[in-house]
Amino acid sequence: MKNTLLWKAALVLVLAVLLWIPLLMIENTIQARTSYRYEAVSAIAASSAGEQKLWGPVLTVSVEEEYDETVTGWTKAGEVAGSKRQVRKHTVQVKPAAVDLKGKMEVELRKLGLFSTPVFELTATLSGNYVAPTVKDLPPLGPNAKLKWGVPVLTVGVGDTRGIAGAPIATLADTPMEIVGGSDLADFKTGFHGIASTVQLDGSARTLPFAVTLRLMGTSAFGFVPVGTVSTAELSGNWPHPSFSGDFLPRTRSVQDSGFSAQWGTTALASTGAKEPQGFQVRLIEPVDVYRQATRSVKYGFLFIALSFAAFFVFEQLKSLPIHPIQYGLVGLVQAVFFLLLLSLSEHMAFAWAYAAAASASVLLVGVYLASVLRGVGRALGFSAAMATLYAALFGLLQFEQNALLLGSVLLFLLLAAVMLGTRKVDWYSQGNATA
């Protein structure tokens, strides 16, 4: 007597493991396409501007101090003390008492080959007020000090200055400022600054209102890092899939098919302590990342193959209908090629339609093939229906990412229960023994 059942089971298992190789190759292909997508996004950003960020604004005032410095000299009578007028300079940085950002984003998809990414043009206004610096903001003064207050300079940090469209407009104390490129502040190296050459400071703590208007282009994301004692922001755009992040989430938000709007607010007390402040951020995401969806789906590939082989194996034993290992392998390859077909189609059409097309083609091909292998159209239709149900279940798992583990475990349990209940009366010893 020879137990052919165990040999056949072992052979089918080895064949299923070998089919893991094309699945791994397909997963590597997905990763390669993902890398190409990132390269395309980088190329789009390089031709215009990358992710954008605004920082500030900060008011800088230089102060010249003239004072008496005590000096000593020697005469015949001995050491004599005297004084000499000296000059030193101080730089005072003043953060806004209040700053408010109002911005509107016009978003469009920009394509490079098969790949695309959202780019935007932001029309923004920064407004608020400063309290002019006084003697209290300076280090201790020397004897008989006289101060000469310099011209105020307002600096705005910009993440990628290539995205500045046109000349910004800035006013301080209702006086136009001369705009100059660049930033000399340590906190933000890139940006622009405005010089208020006609604003005269005298050391009194008066209020200095400011306003800055600019147009800024960028790719994928925008952030605002506020530095005010009280900071607020209101941002809207025509992109229906925003993702809010950063140090502070919006206090209120509204997301609709036509776009989004969000409002933030914080104070200096809540903003302290961050090593690399992110501020308020909004990221423009694409609702369905086809490469992430394809990666998640191919991870179920071996399960698909294993379930198909298990169904074949049980059917073969129950119906005494021998199925050759090559036939096992061909059906397994169809399951593997499904994921490659899904990837290629999803680059040209919506993911749901690509999934439906790839699944329909696979089910149809397997059904036509099994009509001959299983010697009956009815049997082939039954297997194809089960295969279509499996594809539908996988699509459901992909759509409900948060509950994928729950749904997957329930599905496996039901499939195992069906196999166990369907074969509970099978005498596997009689099935497995055959005369040599």
Task: Measure the CA–CA gap between 140 and 65, rounded to whole angstroms.
Answer: 11
Give the mean model confidence (pLDDT) for residues 11-23. Answer: 77
Residue limits of CATH 2.60.40 in the chain: 53-70+81-286
Least confident segment among 154-163, 188-197, 228-237, 287-296: 287-296
Q: By the 8 A CB rule, do 159 and 50 touch?
A: yes
Q: Give 49-89 pLDDT, tens digit per residue.
A: 888 988 889 998 888 878 777 776 665 666 666 677 888 88
| pLDDT score of 274 more than 80 | no
Q: Give 241-268 pLDDT, tens digit per residue.
A: 888 888 888 899 888 888 899 999 888 7
- Please state the pTM of the whole predicted model: 0.69
Tokens of 354: 């690509």
| pLDDT score of 436 more than 50 | no
Exposed/middle/buried for 298, CB within 10 Å: 0-12, 13-18, 19+?
Answer: buried
Give me the pLDDT at residue 125, please: 92
Select the CATH number that applies to the domain covering 53-70+81-286 from these four: 3.30.70, 1.10.405, 3.40.720, 2.60.40.
2.60.40
Give me the pLDDT at residue 124, please: 92
What element of type H or E holds 217?
strand 207-219
Which has more pLDDT, 329 or 119? 119
Q: By the 8 A CB rule, do 305 and 332 touch?
A: yes
Q: pLDDT-derived band of residue 212, with 50, 70 and 90 as boundaries?
A: very high
Give me the pLDDT at residue 435, please: 38
CA angle (63 as vertex; 60, 66 as ends), nearest 5: 170
